[in-house]
Amino acid sequence: MWLVQCGKNASLYHDVKSHGKPELFGDNNAHNGALSLWGYYMVEPVSQFKSKSGFKRIIGAFGYSMDGFRSAWRSEAAFRQEMLLMVVGTISALSMQISAFEKFMLIGVLVLMLIVELMNSAIEAVVDRISLDQHPLSKNAKDFGSAAVALSIGLAATAWGVVLFNRFY
């Protein structure tokens, strides 16, 4: 949060537009419900990358998602391997003589595995963006993400094992 001085002589952030900070609240401007405390308003900073609302937001979000998939495909071998497993698994699940619920669950655990892999890749990218130096907290963050991937793969393997065992034995 930022403290922004109100009034005509406000000088705390006099050139707010060039610094990417919120505009000052003047005496005659609406405060959008901001709380005034001794002539200052508490306002949340708004990212310049935050999109608008409505259909433009949906289109933008879809584009960012596609960028994420392309980036993961290009730069993450584990994602490519798991995507191949997802395609083979989906075809296998749909071709098996099992209930629709079982098909849904088999495909669902594979989708969950991809979701966790993408989150792990995001964590790794942020840690690497901050610093490439070795640090115990960086190691912990990457190890936690890897453990989450291992759990999701274990869950997928267990679900597939149970369904296949029930189907064939």
Give catalytic residue positions.
117
Q: Cβ atoms within 10 A of the Cβ of 153, count?
A: 18
Contact 119/145 with Cβ under 8 angstroms? yes
Could you tell me the sign of the dihedral formed by the alpha carbons of 61, 81, 160, 151, in that order? negative
- Provide the edge-to-edge strand list for the sheet that holds 36-37: 2-5, 40-43, 36-37
Separation of alpha carbons 91 and 108, rounded Å: 13
